[in-house]
Structure 1
Amino acid sequence: MFENLSERLGQTLKNISGKGRLTEDNIKDTLREVRMALLEADVALPVVREFIANVKERAVGVEVSKNLNPGQVFIKIVQSELEAVMGSANETLNLAAQPPAVVLMAGLQGAGKTTSVGKLAKLLKDRQKKKVMVVSADVYRPAAIKQLETLANDVGVEFFPSSADQKPIDIVNGAIESAKKQFADVLLVDTAGRLHVDGEMMQEIQALHKAVNPVETLFVVDAMTGQDAANTAKAFNESLPLTGVILTKADGDARGGAALSVRHITGKPIKFIGMGEKIDALEPFHPDRIASRILGMGDVLSLIEEVERKVDKDKAQKLASKVQKGKGFDLQDFKEQLEQMRNMGGMMSMLDKLPGMGNMTDQIKDKANDKSFNQMEAIINSMTPAERERPDIIKGSRKRRIAAGSGTQIQDVNRLLKQFTQMQKMMKKMTGGGMGKMMKKMKGMMPPGGMGGPGGFFPKR
């Protein structure tokens, strides 16, 4: 997400560095480029106009402090305005109600409502320790009811059964009673979608909303529909008292314009963002972190939170202890590291959150893709336990057998062994105070003033 916008802004913001002061003349071209970048990212025109006007008003005449160059000042202004457009801070669900807190999900067919119900149920259960029940009021699509039941079983939450011959209001009222008896904290309601906004659909969901009086009414919208996402959100907002938005399929949209338009057009916060097909690929929407990613500064906070949640701490501790005792890092350990990485959404998902990674060349991105990681795992799976423990015994005939068993070439096996050797050396450096030395080296590689300015955010290729 945002790849195109990040690249355009990165190139544009380089051009303003080296000036002693920001004036209307020297930022005119930059603002024009920023405007084009936003329009190409499918950001709605009214949003672009207001954004550019605000940046211009703040930037013109700003004196540059001794430690910052104009590029850094301008980036700071752009970042601040990006945050303002998207809502400045994450807004959580308001579940402070007499249990069960009813959350109604609305949206068009195909936007990912049912999947989002399952994802949100898992998030509330795992991160907020809530007892969750889900129910489908989509009487037009029996497959949606079955899909939600399957998702509920997968994530381990309660499912209230419903059928196509029932009325949506009766279904939800029955679910509320059941949720009370089972002491559920939250009831998530999946509603029927249509292929387009129509009067009949709106009347039905309005009646349902009035009958059940939910504490949260979330509009689920597909990020890949671009400006239409914001327009559809506006139509729903005029018919329903929305409390927030869930932006789905954001991982499939390189432009990201919907994220920058929805809040401005509806006045409602984006509360969650779907970043993949996996059941745990739903994240709270943090405008400051998204703005940081757009400007190529990464999203280290989200990466740290992901590591905290998804890395197997026992395995990590065992590996650390093993390496410290001088027992070495073997190919089985290497395989477990690859598995941990996959649990975190794969290599590209991680790199996307690191500062400056938006400027990686296609060649580097190609080498770091998840396909190559799957190939590495297949190669290690073709090895015997002895080979994994002592890679130095892997010679000619063993390499041929491993390549044949994993469906790869001998040069692929050689490449893996070379990469493993490099990682083994790195693990050795991390013992005996080596970690401190490595951190100092990394600090030395940072641009002056930390991650500041185009020189920091946008390294030269």
Structure 2
Amino acid sequence: MAFEGLTSKLQDTLKKLKGKGKLTEKDIKEAMREVKLALLEADVNYRIVKDFIKSVSEKCMGKEVLESLTPAQQVIKIVNDELIQLMGNEESTINFTQNGITVIMLVGLQGAGKTTMAGKLALQLRKNNKKPLLVACDVYRPAAIKQLQVVGKQIEIPVFSLGDKVKPVDITKAAIKHAKEEGHNVVIVDTAGRLHIDEELMNELKDVKEVASPNEILLVVDSMTGQDAVNVAESFNSQLDITGVVLTKLDGDTRGGAALSIKAMTSKPIKYAGIGEKMSDLEVFHPDRMASRILGMGDVLTLIEKAQQAIDEKEAEKISKRLINQEFNFEDFLAAMQQMKKLGPLNKIIEMLPGVSSKELKGVDLNQGEKELKKIESIINSMTVKERKNPSVLSGSPSRKKRVANGSGTTIQQVNKVLKDYENMKKMMKQMKGMQKSFSKKKGLFGKLPF
């Protein structure tokens, strides 16, 4: 989970402040010392940490904080505001051309995840009604072109390639010409990387930049490399004048120092964050939402957006009505599970909920919950359509239960449990409907009264 260590330490520090009615300068100094250590352990650049603590401390020492009725909340707000400022204040979007083709160059070291990120970005832009073209300009890394073609096929987005014997400059020229002819309005150039920065690499990227005149030069960096990611960003920025940064593997870095250092060190915004292995696992980077996650206050807005994108409203409403009217069956249950799965893994959903502490989740096997859901799904998929639509057919037949258990790789006891849970849910919905009717009658009665 991103920022897990930092979030846990900040929550502990700020919780101590909440336990005090009034704060003294000594309280704030001690808290800031702990915040400083937490940021350094998260691999945030030392200079950034020093400036951050100085700014937060000065604001926390003000009379409006020390004499406030809720000083701890004021301190949390100051820390939150400073984190947002550190990461860029507001989201930074792609600079699209009004007419013609928007060219996006992806640059970075080998292994940062440029090729996969090219696909993720293309997929997201297509969802926003763009028509992207992927361009294979990595002519050095073995199978790099093939990898981009596989990614393109997976997401059904065309890939332009002239093989590995043509110079990247000539490939870029031809790709832009091809994009104009085929009606593409976004060209994403997947450039070559190296294991380390060298003059030859930079000269080649400068040549591609000259012929492409890109609207965006996005540096793709592996967030798990911590301070190295910041050093890489500074080097690429000084040579190419990048327009933004894309962080990959942010879900796998429990420290997250790169996200807190890059903007301040390069003055260039973080535009996207890769948060998983799936092609859809790419988020626009919102500094305010990320600050909220770091402080353990969740990210409800992103969760709502995910739900809006993933869940079919009409289908959800249909399932809801059937549930209330006690017409809900295993076909509906299966449909509901498919909708929920679109939101992503359980641990990522929980991370966005306010007030959920990473410390509290330690020892809790979130994968177990997902395994249980998969088991239930297997059991339902092993039923016939008739059994799914009318579970009572299954309840009274041991032979049917045995067949379902064998088909799903489970036991008859597990099948019985699913059936029992279903019956309990039906009883609960019946009680709720009864309460709803009772409330409606009372409401009608009160409506006739003179008060």
Q: How many residues align?
A: 433
CA distance in 2, matches of 1:63, 1:23: 13
8 Å contact 1:387–1:394 — kept in the other structure? no
Secondary structure, in 3 states, of the residue corresponding to 2:366?
Answer: helix
- Are 1:87 and 2:85 matched, yes or no? no
Report the 3-state secondary structure (helix = DSSP H, G, I; strand = E; otherwise coil) of the residue aligned with 2:18. coil
Report the alpha carbon displacement of residue 265 of structure 1 after superposing the two structures with TM.
1.4
Q: What's the secondary structure of 2:104's corresponding residue?
A: strand
Runs of 5+ consecutive residues of structure 2 not aligned to the other structure: 440-451
**Does the 8 Å CA contact 2:104/2:217 hold for their aligned counterparts?**
yes
CA contact under 8 A between 2:139 and 2:168: conserved in structure 1? yes
Q: Is the CA contact 2:122–2:157 (under 8 Å) kept in the aligned structure 1?
A: yes
Aligned counterpart, 2:448? none
One-letter identity of the residue aligned with 1:184: H
State how 1:265-276 maps to structure 2 within 5 Å. Answer: 265-276=265-276
Which residue does 2:327 correspond to in 1? 328
Match in the other structure for 1:173: 173
Structure 2 distance, partners of 1:83, 1:164, is 43
Q: Is 2:365 the partner of 1:383?
A: no
**What CA distance in whole angstroms lies between the structure 2 residues aligned with 1:81 and 1:138?**
39
Q: Which digits, 9 at most, give the CA deviation of each residue in 1:224-278, with x for residues without a partner?
A: 1122111111111111110000101111112211111111111110000011111
Q: How is 1:414-453 mapped onto 2 (pairs within 5 angstroms)? A: 414-417=416-419, 420=422, 424=426
Instruction: Give distance in 1, aligned partners of 2:150 and 2:367.
Output: 36
In the alignment, which residue of structure 1 is the partner of 2:257? Answer: 257
Indicate how the Cα distance of structure 1 residues 429 and 92 shifts in structure 2: closer, same or farther if over 3 A, else same: farther
Matched, 1:404 2:403: no
RMSD, aligned α-carbons: 2.5
Q: 1:243: which partner in 2?
A: 243
SS of the aligned residue for 1:188 comes to: strand
Q: Does the 8 A contact of 2:135 with 2:190 survive in 1?
A: yes
Q: Deviations over 1:336-364 (max 9, x none)?
A: 22222222212222121111223443354
Q: Residue type of the partner of 1:32? A: R
Q: How big is each residue's C-alpha offset from its partner over 1:113-140, in whole Å with a ceiling of 9 and x where there is no partner?
A: 01111111111111x2011111011111
3-state DSSP class of the match of 1:362? coil
Instruction: State the alpha-carbon separation in 2 of the partners of residues 414 and 64 from structure 1.
Output: 59
Give the CA deviation at 1:23: 3.0
TM-score by length of 2: 0.89
- Answer whether contact 1:97 1:215 (CA < 8 A) is retained: no
TM-aligned CA distance change 1:26 to 1:65, over 3 Å: closer
Hey, what does 1:61 align to over in structure 2? 62
CA apart distance, 1:218: 0.1
Deviation at 1:423, TM superposition (A): 5.3
Cα-to-partner distance string for 1:162-221 (whole Å, 9 max, x where unaligned)? 210001000000011111112221111000011111221111111211222111000001
Deviations 1:135-168 (A, max 9, x none): 0111113522122222223323332222100010
Q: 1:65 to 1:25 in 2, by over 3 A?
A: closer
Do 2:123 and 2:280's aligned partners in 1 also have CA atoms closer than 8 Å? yes
Give the partner amino acid of 2:388. Answer: R
Whole-Å separation in 1 of the counterparts to 2:431 and 2:244: 48
Contact 1:83 1:287 in 2 (8 A): yes
Aligned to 2:49: 48
Find the aligned partners of 1:363 and 1:430 in 2 and give their Cα distance. 35
Aligned to 2:17: 16
CA pair 113-363 structure 1, distance change in 2 beyond 3 A: same
**Aligned match of 1:183:** 183
State how far apart, in whole Å, the 2-side matches of 1:423 and 1:220 are.
Answer: 48
Structure 1 residue aligned with 2:345 = 346
Q: 1:216 to 1:366 in 2, by over 3 A?
A: closer
CA contact (8 A) 1:106 1:193 kept: yes
Unaligned runs of 5+ in 1: 438-461
Q: Establish whether residue 77 from structure 1 lines up as the match of residue 78 from structure 2.
A: yes
Distance 1:33 1:415, change over 3 A: farther
Distance in structure 2 (CA, Å) of the matches to 1:20 and 1:198: 57
Distance (Å, rounded) in 2 between the aligned partners of 1:156 and 1:50: 46
In 1, distance between residues paired with 2:369 and 2:236?
Answer: 39
Aligned match of 1:337:
336
